[in-house]
Amino acid sequence: MRVGLDVGGTKTDAVLVDPAGTVGARVRLATGWGPDAVTSTVVEAVGRLATAAGVPMSAFSTVGVGIPGQVDPVVGAVSHAVNLGIDYLDLAGAAGRALELPVHVENDVKAAALGAAALHGGEGTMAYLNLGTGVAAGIVRDGELVRGTRGGAGEVGHISVDPNGPRCRCGQRGCIEALAGGGAVAERWAKPGAFPVRDVFDAADAGDPLAVRLRGDLAYGVASAVRVLVLTDDVDTVVLGGGVSTLGARLLEDVTEVLDRSAVESAFLRSLSLPQRLEILPAGSPAAALGAALVGDARDGVLFGP
């Protein structure tokens, strides 16, 4: 049995995955802040899974961790995970020593992409588009993560799709993330609230002009990311996930409308059937933690094949 953990800014989601790829026991706990507390969270999550499953930790073959920030998957270290208070942490080393288990670490979006691909099934190329505070994608080709030459594949959030668009926190204008990132939308909306993007959707429904513009920009940004992923890599499916994707059908409808407009304008775009390639991760999906369990295979996701 494998363990997969999705370490988020506030919560950590942990699952057991059997050799057939089925998710078994699942626990959630609050994520600690800073390197030591994050390591403790990982260790505690694995212990709680053992308790929940009624097995000793020695029954687990590997522990995979998806975590935000810049990850060196070879070393198993994470850097610049600002939301977790981590500047640098050798998580595979620290958690591995405490657990006496092999620990693999991967960027959270890339891990979630593996999980989304495993849940989706099938061969070919697919993308997981994470709509969180920022925007990034994980691309999976025949069960394997596409990493690129320096591990930077999937950074579609910082492709500019409007030279006159809003300034991105990265410094460019009109980045996809500046249009569709939850952080950028909240900043432009500039009103307090637990889930500003939903507030924007509600206010747009009520006719608020700023909200209508922000909501339109968000849909345009997501649709642009879908076009980039399909036109560059011809991915068969784009699965939307992350906090903003919990808006569900409301988000899907907006994005589909933008894609439908480009299909009306352009026979070539129409031939690509973009709206049919779009899916959304169900609320509460264990994709991110499941994907983390798949990290570290010689061929990442090809764990359950023949």
Rounded-to-integer distance, Cα 1 and Cα 57, Å: 10
Residue 92 corresponds to which tokens in the numbers above? 């595979």
Residue 199 corresponds to which tokens in the numbers above? 């507030």
Rounded-to-integer distance, Cα 110 and Cα 123, Å: 18
Q: x/- string (CB under 8 A) for its own copies, residues 41-60?
A: --------------------
Which residue lies nearer to its own copies by CB, 208 or 236?
236
Which residue lies nearer to its own copies by CB, 95 or 229?
229
Residue 226 corresponds to which tokens in the numbers above? 């879908």
From the list 19-27, 78-86, 109-117, 162-170, the region that binds its own copies by CB under 8 A is: 162-170
144 near its own copies, rule: CB under 8 A: no
Among 44, 90, 162, 208, binds its own copies (CB under 8 A): 162
CB atoms near residue 139 (< 10 Å): 25
Among 54, 56, 152, 306, binds its own copies (CB under 8 A): 152
208 near its own copies, rule: CB under 8 A: no
Q: Check: CB of residue 29 under 8 Å from CB of residue 38.
A: no
Rounded-to-integer distance, Cα 131 and Cα 186, Å: 13
- Cα separation of the two ends of the chain: 18
> Taking the complex as a whole, how short is the minimal distance between the CB of residue 153 and its own copies, in angstroms?
4
- The SS3 of residue 99 is helix
From the list 92-100, 112-120, 160-168, 199-207, the region that binds its own copies by CB under 8 A is: 160-168
Q: Check: CB of residue 250 under 8 Å from CB of residue 154.
A: no
215 near its own copies, rule: CB under 8 A: no
> Taking the complex as a whole, how short is the minimal distance between the CB of residue 139 and its own copies, in angstroms?
8
> Applying CB under 8 A, which residues contact its own copies?
124-125, 137, 139, 141, 146-156, 158-164, 168, 170-173, 220, 224, 227-236, 262, 265-269, 272
